Structure 1
């Protein structure tokens, strides 16, 4: 291929671009705060007692009494009235609830205060042991049984912590097509409670469609997509989904199925996809076409599941079969077998007005097999991708409210990968496109190692009833190392093996009840070291700015 010409995409790079292509709202903060409200003023006259020390009883070994001593420290050495003593007990109750003991209560037993010691008794709180400790209300008998099993697994006997209640409720809400809410009521035993959960079934199926220009120019930049899912098709914690995508030069069909295996949250998933492509534009006379087929299976488990923090571990095995042809002849046939182990999590906090933090860290171990003899020879003289490989993938993001600036927010996200050797095109890191450095083309900046940072200043506002808008001012920057081990002719003299790409721009998103529109215009900052000798970008054009558009509809 002449250096003046941009290299055409192949099955691996197109699959990679497809796989790389919602802003979350923080949960309501209704957890009890660690109250340090001042004690009420003492009225003139009446009962009072000097308190020099406080002793806690009733929950020895179950709670951190040192933390509770700090809660009552300001009352020591003072004469307190009956009302002030009751307020002190209420403060301890609030502190216990802030520690996670949602059902806990502190009270003052009958006692003699003449020696200056105050006893505060603690009822730590538990669900009743009698039948009916958890009652699920639902018209669906199968759902009622599944939800009861999930709640029983998350709520052990003994004192109940807030995080255990949250895990039970969230795992029930994780069941496809289920919406659950809970209330507590007095139990049948002294000091106990019972949990009532209302589990409602959502629509049996959901779906959506979209149109965008996020695809590769050589297979048709404009792409139409549709997806659908059936909730609990076999009356288990399962989901059956399908997705389709079409452009002028590519078609993709994907199927997936996920099911809950245990009440504690272990889930299994299987998926398959098939993509066919034909390269157009200036490469059309070469009749470049091919396919990418994938099959995968995996497991996932929530190590932590609360309103404010969640942590998952997952493991997925995948088989990729990639074929590229020219003028009816097979150019490349390769199979990739890969195993991905991933740890991912998120957290909400109240820092400077509140924000969301998400992160993931994964390890990919794989092997490339080349079926075509000529391809094996060519690979041995060039990239040498054949054989085993490993790569580390990572992602971090922060969505931050800007303190007192109402409706303003700042988003910063970064992701990248580190590889052990030269990678197949389906495993390379990509910089350009609508989810990367937006002032560069889809497929621009491909490499074995790389990292990318996106920063957005966001302003939310209403434009009409039920229509929200978000304006963006953004900047992107990324770095890529094209080859771990370069070979003769693999690196252009004007680019070097490693280079950076940058861009900045503006965007506007509109969202209604069932539809959304997204638009972003980005301009390249600086040069494009990855251009061809003729100055062409990865899409065969010389553009220094790009406009990305998407319209979506949910059914």
Structure 2
């Protein structure tokens, strides 16, 4: 606590003092008006940096050691440090040469990184303000980074029926900025009905589907239900339930699902009495490793138990009990030449004689 107070007091003092006036030791002294005066600089010392380490900053300006500089040239070196921060997404960071005494030919470069001070959240109709705040609260007290802000916005906007936008405003403390979060949300419940004639004529060409989903406005977990039937309930049936629970606000989610389906083959094969049933229960864990406007990378690890039965002429023709684990990576990106690109890699592994699964002979 004391360390943070001293740090902010030091930054405030440096801002209040004339920022671009140099004061040197007597044997190398010149005023701010004597900007053409040159002085030998052996090395640099960086103050106020936390987001980028000393080694990297000093490495970026190492070629400027052991040389003579004017005041304007020293300002240009500070601008190089600012650009280094900008390239890493620290859009509010600023480096400058403060008023100082040059000792041992070492000049100090001060960095004001532009910390996120506080959050101001607008009124939301349905979702709790705490739910929205949790996507951004971990960023408070750290240097504002546009990549981190963008990721937080995109993860928040994955919540169904909710859209957030952010605006920066002047911070209450020197060297900080506050962020206003505007929320647009609608009631987090969705229902629709579909019809298509893409089915197989031997089962049911016409299919009717109902979808329902509801999201908890407190933590953002979503329950989804789906049901599909043919022209008659006995022709074909598909029913699924899926529960998706956010485990944190960094893109990690736990999912659980259950699927049940059955069908009867009719038309010219009706006399054979062919029918099938399937039941799937599973759980999975996913995490968003990269989440930006131009690219996304998500990893999923899961486990399914599958039971599939087939019948013909009143007798069972197959009975498969499967226990399958899988790993999947999904990547997509957007570029100016190829447009939208997708890549999905999946590895599956069956487990013999696990939880009643079929034992291989």
CA displacement at 1:203 relative to structure 2 = 4.2
Aligned ranges 1:285-434 → 2 under 5 Å: 285-340=271-326, 342-346=327-331, 348=333, 350=335, 352=337, 356-367=341-352, 386-387=358-359
> What is the CA RMSD across the aligned residues, in angstroms?
4.1
User: Of the candidates 123, 142, 157, which is equivalent to residue 138 of structure 1?
Assistant: 123
Q: Which runs of 5+ in 2 are unaligned?
A: 1-33
Structure 1 position 166 matched with structure 2 position 150: yes
CA displacement at 1:272 relative to structure 2 = 1.9
Equivalent residues of 1:176, 1:238 under 8 A apart? no
Structure 1 position 279 matched with structure 2 position 268: no
> Larger C-alpha radius of gyration, 1 or 2?
2
Aligned ranges 1:94-133 → 2 under 5 Å: 94-111=83-100, 119-128=108-117, 133=118
Structure 1 position 178 matched with structure 2 position 162: yes
Q: TM-score, normalised by structure 2?
A: 0.71
Match of 2:227 in 1: 244
Higher alpha-carbon deviation: 303-312 or 282-291: 303-312
Distance in 1 between residues matched to 2:294 and 2:101, nearest whole Å? 43
Higher alpha-carbon deviation: 349-358 or 88-97: 349-358
Match of 1:206 in 2: 190
CA displacement at 1:277 relative to structure 2 = 0.8
Residues 93-116 of structure 1, C-alpha deviations (whole Å, 9 max, x = no match) = 243022132332222322579999
Distance 1:343 1:160, change over 3 A: farther
CA displacement at 1:63 relative to structure 2 = 1.6
Residues 446-505 of structure 1, C-alpha deviations (whole Å, 9 max, x = no match) = xxxxxxxxxxxxxxxxxxxxxxxxxxxxxxxxxxxxxxxxxxxxxxxxxxxxxxxxxxxx
Equivalent residues of 1:225, 1:244 under 8 A apart? yes
Structure 1 position 192 matched with structure 2 position 176: yes
Equivalent residues of 2:134, 2:249 under 8 A apart? yes
CA displacement at 1:269 relative to structure 2 = 2.3
Residues 406-446 of structure 1, C-alpha deviations (whole Å, 9 max, x = no match) = xxxxxxxxxxxxxxxx9xxxxxxxxxxxxxxxxxxxxxxxx
User: Of the candidates 77, 82, 100, which is equivalent to residue 93 of structure 1?
Assistant: 82
Match of 2:15 in 1: none
Q: Could you say what secondary structure the match of 2:173 adopts?
A: coil
Equivalent residues of 1:303, 1:312 under 8 A apart? yes
Equivalent residues of 1:311, 1:343 under 8 A apart? no
Residues 352-392 of structure 1, C-alpha deviations (whole Å, 9 max, x = no match) = 47654544343333447999xxxxxxxxxxxxx9426xxxx
The one of the two structures with greater contact order (alpha-carbon pairs below 8 A, sep at least 6) is: 1
Distance 1:362 1:97, change over 3 A: farther
**Aligned residue pair count:** 324
Distance 1:51 1:175, change over 3 A: farther
Match of 1:253 in 2: 239
Q: TM-score, normalised by structure 1?
A: 0.49
Distance 1:87 1:312, change over 3 A: same
CA displacement at 1:56 relative to structure 2 = 5.2
Distance in 2 between residues matched to 1:353 and 1:91, nearest whole Å? 34
Match of 1:490 in 2: none
Residues 164-215 of structure 1, C-alpha deviations (whole Å, 9 max, x = no match) = 3333323322323221122222322221222322232134333555555655
Q: Could you say what secondary structure the match of 1:97 adopts?
A: helix
Residues 114-166 of structure 1, C-alpha deviations (whole Å, 9 max, x = no match) = 999765421123233xxxx23322334752012223322x4264444444333
Distance 1:279 1:103, change over 3 A: same
Q: Could you say what secondary structure the match of 1:176 adopts?
A: coil
Q: Which runs of 5+ in 1 are unaligned?
A: 1-45, 372-384, 389-421, 423-555
Q: Could you say what secondary structure the match of 2:92 adopts?
A: coil
Distance 1:240 1:96, change over 3 A: same
Distance in 2 between residues matched to 1:148 and 1:196, nearest whole Å? 11
CA displacement at 1:237 relative to structure 2 = 0.9
